[in-house]
């Protein structure tokens, strides 16, 4: 009987020991896009703020390629010990799982949600040489020059590609899609004159617009951005069907211990409530967010169902 009681005490104590000892080493945050991309900027704002709560650094690991699939798939296959997490987003985590026949991960089955981090719109931007100042003027120009205005995106099937196709559908314009390896490359392509315009998350574009390297035309968000108040929304421009918000959040491989998920969630919630973090996100045109693992998991499930229906109905499938 004494041996049974002793064994029971030890068994009950193990979760407490795990909770107290985690994390015992640095944590890897996979960002499935290149340095300087929207997701990279978000990851590099968030990662250093986790140290105070966790007592260990969070190290950003850029694993770009295949529209975010390479880094996301690498995270799904990682050991579920709490020491590898990935910055997910609507495009690479959810839409890609439906778009790509070669996708090797399922956003619901293969990941454990930790917390939402931010939401934000897709922005439209043009090279300064393009003689338009807003979406209405772009539509007028594109209709005079069908097929002659090219736009860059972060890759075939990316959220920025889908945004570009939504704009085409909503406005009736004929623009040429030029996919790049990532958003940074597409923006560079526009600045150097390879393409006329680009669709991207807000973070890389706002600073470049203020520096005069590009001109912002519209946001797909439901309201104007505080950091660029003169830029109209697509709805204000007459095209409400083109509204689109993307979200960013942190997930871990399925099977990651609940104790680790809880510690990481608490650290993210604390970081996202820091005034300096909220200010940095706002300057990038993002709304800082945080929630429970259960709430974030529901968002992933709902969007997987929603976008699965939209993408399949449109007949979009990528290799």
Q: Indicate the pLDDT class of residue 162, thresholds 50, 70 and 90.
A: confident
Give residue for tokens 């909770």.
Answer: 19
CB-based contact 62:33 (threshold 8 Å) = yes
Q: Indicate the pLDDT class of residue 314, thresholds 50, 70 and 90.
A: low
How far apart, in whole angstroms, are the C-alpha atoms of residue 162 and residue 43? 23
pLDDT at 5 over 70: no
What is the structure's pLDDT at 20?
A: 61
Q: State the number of CA atoms in the 13 A half-sphere of 262 facing the CB.
A: 9
What is the structure's pLDDT at 14?
A: 41
CB-based contact 296:114 (threshold 8 Å) = yes
Question: Hey, which CATH number is domain 121-242, 3.90.180.10, 3.40.50.620, 3.40.50.720, 3.40.190.10?
Answer: 3.40.190.10
The two three-digit tokens of residue 257, written as one number: 């211990």
CB-based contact 218:285 (threshold 8 Å) = no
Delimiting residues of CATH 3.40.190.150 domain(s) in the chain: 26-119+246-314
- The bridge status of strand 176-179 relative to strand 232-233 is unpaired
How far apart, in whole angstroms, are the C-alpha atoms of residue 72 and residue 78? 10
What is the structure's pLDDT at 101?
A: 86
What is the structure's pLDDT at 155?
A: 81
Q: State the number of CA atoms in the 13 A half-sphere of 30 facing the CB.
A: 27
Q: Of all helices (H) and strands (E), which one includes residue 136?
A: helix 135-144
Q: Report the share of the chain in percent with pLDDT over 90.
A: 74
What is the structure's pLDDT at 13?
A: 45
**Mean pLDDT for the stretch of residues 183-208:** 94
pLDDT, mean over the chain: 91
Residue with the bigger pLDDT between 255 and 201: it is 255
How far apart, in whole angstroms, are the C-alpha atoms of residue 287 and residue 42? 11
* Residue 133 DSSP symbol: S
Q: Indicate the pLDDT class of residue 285, thresholds 50, 70 and 90.
A: confident
* E strands present in 144-265: 150-153, 176-179, 197-201, 215-219, 232-233, 245-253
For the 26-119+246-314 domain, the top CATH level (class) is alpha beta
Residue with the bigger pLDDT between 249 and 154: it is 249
Delimiting residues of CATH 3.40.190.10 domain(s) in the chain: 121-242
How far apart, in whole angstroms, are the C-alpha atoms of residue 111 and residue 264? 14
How far apart, in whole angstroms, are the C-alpha atoms of residue 183 and residue 199? 8
Q: Report the share of the chain in percent with pLDDT over 70.
A: 93
């Amino acid at each position: 009987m004494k041996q049974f009681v002793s064994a029971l005490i030890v068994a009950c104590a193990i979760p407490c020991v795990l909770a107290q000892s985690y994390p015992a080493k640095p944590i890897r945050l996979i960002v499935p896009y290149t340095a300087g991309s929207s997701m990279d900027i978000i990851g590099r704002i968030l990662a250093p703020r986790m140290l105070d709560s966790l007592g260990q650094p969070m190290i950003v690991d850029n694993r770009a390629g295949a529209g975010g699939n390479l880094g996301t798939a690498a995270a799904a296959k990682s050991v579920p010990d709490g020491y590898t997490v990935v910055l997910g987003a609507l495009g690479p985590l959810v839409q890609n799982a439906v778009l790509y026949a070669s996708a090797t991960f399922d956003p619901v089955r293969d990941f454990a949600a930790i917390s939402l981090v931010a939401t934000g719109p897709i922005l439209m931007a043009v090279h300064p040489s393009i003689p338009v100042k807003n979406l209405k003027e772009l539509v007028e120009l594109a209709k005079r020059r069908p097929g002659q205005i090219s736009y860059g995106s972060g890759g075939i099937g990316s959220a920025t590609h889908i945004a570009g196709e939504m704009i085409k559908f909503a406005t009736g314009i004929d623009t040429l899609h030029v996919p790049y390896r990532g958003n940074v490359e597409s923006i560079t392509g526009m600045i150097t004159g390879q393409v006329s315009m680009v669709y991207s998350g807000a973070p890389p574009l706002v600073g470049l617009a203020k520096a005069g390297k590009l001109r912002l035309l519209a946001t797909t968000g439901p309201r104007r951005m505080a950091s660029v108040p003169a830029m109209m929304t697509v709805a204000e421009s007459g095209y409400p069907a083109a509204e689109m918000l993307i979200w960013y959040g942190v997930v871990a491989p399925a099977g990651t211990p609940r104790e680790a998920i809880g510690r990481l969630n608490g650290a993210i919630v604390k970081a996202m409530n820091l005034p300096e973090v909220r200010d940095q996100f706002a300057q990038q045109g993002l709304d800082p967010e945080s929630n429970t693992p259960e709430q974030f998991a529901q968002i992933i499930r709902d969007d997987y169902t929603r976008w699965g229906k939209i993408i399949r109905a449109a007949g979009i499938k990528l290799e």
